[in-house]
Structure 1
Amino acid sequence: MTERSAPDGTGAPDLGWTHIALAVRDVDASAAFYAQYAGLRLVHRRDEPDGDPVVWLSDLTRPFVLVLLEAPVTHVLGGWAHLGVAVESRAEVDRRVADARAAGVVVDGPHDSGPPVGYWAILADPDGHHLEVAFGQEVAATVAAATRTATPDGRAAGGDAPPGTLPPR
């Protein structure tokens, strides 16, 4: 493997965001939650040397995974800290919220916050980590606009901050 090739020899290394990892008490219960409410699928499973299972879940649309590690849960994504998933319609948000309400896992919503936030609801996974299910968020358009107007040194339009830092407010 060269420095600029992938471990599988394809020459396409993973660059940028690749994963977020959460400690969970039961990977199977959590994987089922994220399959039902976030549409994620199991793409990898293994046991750590200590025997604790680890799973990788993906929506198969990009090279990014949610890693669930069976371990003591000492910190929970709660309050405004959350994972977010976009769905194809308001009706799909409502359908998932109805299922979540029947399961007793709705935390908040649904709400319509207008652009760029859209129509959203917050659900709690089996460990209390929050998942936002949303329609109409303008993430792709916002990133595309920033990319189109970025300067050669990687600064976003109107931003004086160097890459890796936040512009002043």
Structure 2
Amino acid sequence: VLTENLSYYFHLYDTWSAYRPEEEGVAIAYTSVYGNTKKAVLALKERLEARGVKVAVSDLARDDMAEAVEDAFRYSKLVLATTTYNTDIFPFMRTFIDHLTERNYQNRTVALIENGSWGPMAARVMRGMLEGSKDIAFAETAVKILATPNAETYAALDALADELAKA
């Protein structure tokens, strides 16, 4: 039975029940088949931190999925980065987004990074999965990787870091 510091717990309950973020910052959840999406994610992390933004990164194929979900709800912004896989998205990303939508994920800014050597479709699939979520603002900056990050990718990551740092 709680008897001390009750206002702390009431504040947490109020935050969670209203689906508000606990902290300003960016959670980045990614899958990377050959390591190229990971390169882009780490470059974005570096750019965000250089702008003073708190960042948590989760590799959905290797890290604890529950921790990734926790970070998505903790922070005010979320970046989803994955590969196009059989005209869909990599299965770990699909599972992650399902975890979010099953828990009423809302009131956040979401940015999408897609990777695909031909016909990338990951951003469209991820956006579609989140369309039913309330008060999701999608970042204007789109990052598309065609197999491996290049100068255009890094320029888009700079623009995305600027947008997320200001939002």
Instruction: Identify whether the pair has TM-score above 0.5, normalized to the shorter chain.
Output: no
Which structure has more relative contact order (CA 8 Å, sep 6+)? It is 2
Bin for the TM-score computed over the shorter chain: under 0.3
Larger radius of gyration: 1
The structure in which a higher percent of residues are helix is 2
The structure in which a higher percent of residues are strand is 1
